Amino acid sequence: MPNHWNEERLGPPYPSYQGQKWLELHSFRGPLLLTSGAILEEVTVNYQVYGQLNSSRDNAILVCHALTAGSLVASVDDPEKEPGWWDPLVGPGRALDTNKYFIICSNVLGGCYGTTGPASTNPKTGCPYAMNFPVITIRDMVHVQKFLLDHLKIKSLKAVIGGSLGGMQALEWAVTYPHMVEKVIAIACSGRFSSIGISFNEAARRAIMNDPHWRRGRYYGGDFPRQGLALARLIATITYRSRESFEKRFGRLLQEEERANPFNFFEQFAVESYLNYQANKLVRRFDANSYLYLTKAMDLHDLGMGYASFAAALRRIRAVVYLLGISSDILFYPQEVRGLAVTMRREGVLSYYEELKSPHGHDAFLIEFPQVKTFLRDCLSH
């Protein structure tokens, strides 16, 4: 049995991804050898496709999703579905033109949207893995995507595209399977995760693990560590925005201005109310253990891992690499993204850097559609 997401087993108040219909579910028997040396005996991949694979099977584009997103990059095939996270960019005639390309987006290994993760059943025990799930890396996610492409009989990709955690996967594709990828388009990410990024992730993990309901990960079937996951998301949300966007949108506004008494200890500034809203929203749709494992995978992201050096890893790349930094990003400073492009060039990789000018911070790639659209179009037609 594929170990897919099962609401009933987990029971309320366990989160679910409401309304999500999975297009495809593919399971393969392992063993999948992980970067750590550990083995997963069985892996299920949950994925979504858009457009048609042509007869020579060479028009595929792999889109990689970010930390808490899923394979629903667009809802083009079914307008009754909930909106995809890149809806304005995927569809007939759009930047990722489904008349032309076969778009694939799979849920990442370690997540909670159908692809094997810590909430999946461990075939050895019949119980959820929880914290017995092995530590995974971005490279492991890429290996699973490769297995999916094998299953789909796709031998080459026009492009691998992603932002943030998705961008890390795109870059890892270029290093791990250099001969399969024509173009890599990576947005708001880096070649190895920064120490300040690790710091914010560690704060988020502690928030979850401090929650008494977390119970060392064995909360399935019981109370969900809501408060912990909410705080983890609250912390992350600050880093996805920017000083500028917060000042413009909230400044020092109080929530419900008329009735507000700022001297009530629990009275909230509008920005606090916004953060708490975002925090509590995630709790309804994401698994806390997945949050732990995926942030850990981000922390471990280092293209050079296992190679003689970071430069040696870059020298494997055959794809053309397009990097997009975001001017106000405080999680991946634009200088850092630009620096990667420079280092790549030095190692003989054909790489280009552009900067998205936006006050919206890291999340701008999910907000500034016209700019991202132009960038994607330019890269794909280049």
Q: How far is CA 203 from CA 25, 55, 175, 330, 332, in A?
A: 34, 49, 30, 16, 17
| Residue 276 structure tokens | 């708490």
**Residue 352 in the binding site for a second copy (CB under 8 A):** no
**Residue 256 in the binding site for a second copy (CB under 8 A):** no
The piece of 40-48, 58-66, 158-166, 210-218 that touches a second copy (CB under 8 A) is: 210-218
Q: Closer CB to a second copy, residue 46 or residue 227? A: 227
**Residue 97 in the binding site for a second copy (CB under 8 A):** no
The helix (H) or strand (E) run that includes residue 96 is strand 96-97
CB atoms within 10 A of CB 243: 12
The piece of 9-17, 226-234, 351-359, 371-379 that touches a second copy (CB under 8 A) is: 226-234
**Residue 134 in the binding site for a second copy (CB under 8 A):** yes
Cα distance between residue 180 and residue 58, in whole Å: 10
Tell me the catalytic residues. 164, 329, 362
The piece of 7-15, 88-96, 175-183, 238-246 that touches a second copy (CB under 8 A) is: 238-246
Interface pick for a second copy out of 35, 255, 343, 374 (rule CB under 8 A): 35
Strand partners, 91: 97
Interface pick for a second copy out of 31, 36, 124, 127 (rule CB under 8 A): 36
Exposure of 213 by Cβ count < 10 A (0-12 exposed, 13-18 middle, 19+ buried)? middle
- Taking the complex as a whole, the smallest distance from the CB of residue 122 to a second copy amounts, in Å, to 15
Within positions 288 to 327, which residues make up the interface with a second copy, using CB under 8 A? Answer: 292, 296, 299-300, 302
Strand partners, 160: 62, 184
H helix intervals, the chain: 7-10, 138-151, 165-176, 195-210, 226-240, 243-249, 270-283, 288-300, 310-314, 334-346, 369-381
Q: Closer CB to a second copy, residue 127 or residue 196? A: 196
- Taking the complex as a whole, the smallest distance from the CB of residue 312 to a second copy amounts, in Å, to 16
Q: Closer CB to a second copy, residue 97 or residue 140? A: 140
Q: With beta carbons less than 8 A apart as the criterion, state whether 333 and 366 touch.
A: no
Task: Give the count of residues interacting with a second copy (CB under 8 A).
Answer: 54
What mask of x and - would describe binding to a second copy in positions 266 to 295, judged by CB under 8 A? --xx-xx--xx---------------x---
**Residue 227 in the binding site for a second copy (CB under 8 A):** yes
Give me the numbers of helices (H) and strands (E) for the chain, helices first please. 11, 10
The helix (H) or strand (E) run that includes residue 62 is strand 60-64
- Taking the complex as a whole, the smallest distance from the CB of residue 152 to a second copy amounts, in Å, to 30
**Residue 334 in the binding site for a second copy (CB under 8 A):** no
Instruction: Return the closest-CA partner of residue 240 out of 330, 356, 338.
Output: 330
Cα distance between residue 68 and residue 86, in whole Å: 14
- Taking the complex as a whole, the smallest distance from the CB of residue 305 to a second copy amounts, in Å, to 9
**Residue 202 in the binding site for a second copy (CB under 8 A):** yes
Instruction: Return the closest-CA partner of residue 149 out of 123, 173, 171.
Output: 173
Radius of gyration of the chain (CA): 20
Interface pick for a second copy out of 101, 177, 219, 250 (rule CB under 8 A): 250
Which residues are at the interface with a second copy (CB under 8 A)?
Answer: 35-38, 131, 134-135, 192-196, 198-200, 202-203, 206-207, 210-212, 227-228, 230-231, 234-235, 238, 241-243, 246-247, 250-252, 262-265, 268-269, 271-272, 275-276, 292, 296, 299-300, 302, 330, 333
